[in-house]
C-alpha cells in the first residue's frame, strides 16, 4: 500500500498575546490555521485513521493539543471552526476541572461539562493518561491501573474518547523487553495508536502505531519556520 506524508502537529497552550516554548500566541496560531486552510491541507481525527485506508487528499495533517487547557477551548476551538480544521485534544483525566499540578499549577483544565460541549465535528477527545506521569518510570501494573482509571471515568461520565494515547512528556520504555511489554499492554487495553514526540514527519499508514511521531510546535517559530517544519521537520 502506498504511504502518504502525514505531519502531526503538537500544541499545548494558546495565549491571547505573547508566546514562547509550549505557549503559542493566538495571532501565530491563527496564521498557521490560515496557511493550512489556504494550502488545502486535509485534517484528520485519529478515529478516521483506524481503518488504514489510503489518504485521498494531496496534503494531509493531524492537529493535536495536549493537556486539555481551558485556553484551548477559548482560543483554539473558534479558530479551528473558522478555518474548517479538525483537532484531537489529549486529556489527562485525573485533572478535569483542576489545574496543571504536574507543572506550574497555574493553568486551568477543562471540566467534564466543557469537554461534553466541544463540537465533535471539530474536536476529537483522546487519552493523555490519568495522572500525567512518565510511563518509562512506572511499572506495567501502575500503567495498567492508570489506564483503568481513565476508562472508568470516561464510562462514568459518558465521555466519547478515541482509543489513541499521547504519552505524557513523550516518555515510554525505549528498550526491550520493557518496550514490547508496554506496547502489548496498550494493545490489550484496546489502544490503536500511541503518540511520542520525535519531531519527525510521519507516513501513513503508520509503520509503528505505538511510536507515532509528532512535531512539537514552538511559540517562537516564525510562519516560515512552521512551513518548513511541515515539509522537513527534523532539519529545522
Write down the domain spans for the chain. Answer: 4-132+160-170+191-235
Beta strands 202-204 and 4-6, pairing class: antiparallel
Q: What is the pTM of this model?
A: 0.95
Q: Is 60 exceeded by the pLDDT of residue 115?
A: yes
Q: Is 70 exceeded by the pLDDT of residue 233?
A: no
Give the architecture (CATH level 2) of 4-132+160-170+191-235: Alpha-Beta Barrel (3.20)
| Cis peptide, bond prior to residue 123, ω within 30 of zero | no
CA distance 190 to 200: 25
Beta strands 123-127 and 4-6, pairing class: unpaired
The confidence band for 234, taking pLDDT boundaries of 50, 70 and 90, is low
pLDDT at 235: 43
pLDDT at 15: 95
Q: Which of these, 219, 218, 174, lies nearest to 194 by C-alpha position? A: 174
pLDDT at 17: 87
Quote the mean pLDDT of the chain: 95
pLDDT at 52: 87
Report the pLDDT averaged over residues 163-183. 96
Amino acid at each position: 500500500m502506498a504511504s502518504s506524508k502525514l505531519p502531526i502537529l503538537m500544541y499545548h497552550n494558546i495565549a491571547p498575546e505573547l508566546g514562547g516554548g509550549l505557549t503559542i500566541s493566538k495571532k501565530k496560531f491563527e496564521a498557521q490555521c490560515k496557511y493550512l486552510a489556504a494550502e488545502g491541507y486535509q485534517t484528520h481525527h485519529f478515529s478516521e485513521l483506524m481503518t488504514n485506508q489510503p489518504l485521498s487528499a494531496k496534503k494531509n495533517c493531524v492537529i493535536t493539543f495536549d493537556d486539555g487547557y481551558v485556553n484551548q477551548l477559548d482560543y483554539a476551538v473558534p479558530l479551528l471552526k473558522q478555518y474548517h480544521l479538525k483537532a484531537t485534544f489529549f486529556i489527562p483525566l485525573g485533572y478535569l476541572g483542576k489545574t496543571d499540578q504536574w507543572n506550574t499549577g497555574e493553568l486551568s483544565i477543562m471540566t467534564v461539562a466543557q469537554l461534553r460541549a466541544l463540537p465533535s465535528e471539530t474536536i476529537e477527545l483522546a487519552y493523555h493518561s490519568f495522572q500525567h506521569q512518565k510511563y518509562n518510570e512506572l511499572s506495567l501494573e501502575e500503567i495498567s491501573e492508570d489506564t483503568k482509571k481513565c476508562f472508568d471515568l470516561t464510562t462514568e461520565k459518558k465521555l466519547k474518547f478515541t482509543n489513541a494515547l499521547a504519552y505524557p512528556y513523550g516518555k515510554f520504555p525505549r528498550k526491550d523487553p520493557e518496550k514490547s511489554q508496554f506496547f502489548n499492554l496498550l494493545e490489550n487495553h484496546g489502544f490503536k495508536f500511541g503518540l511520542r514526540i520525535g519531531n519527525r514527519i510521519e507516513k501513513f499508514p503508520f509503520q509503528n502505531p505505538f511510536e507515532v511521531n509528532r512535531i512539537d510546535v514552538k511559540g517562537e517559530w516564525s510562519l516560515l519556520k512552521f512551513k518548513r517544519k511541515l515539509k522537513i521537520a527534523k532539519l529545522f
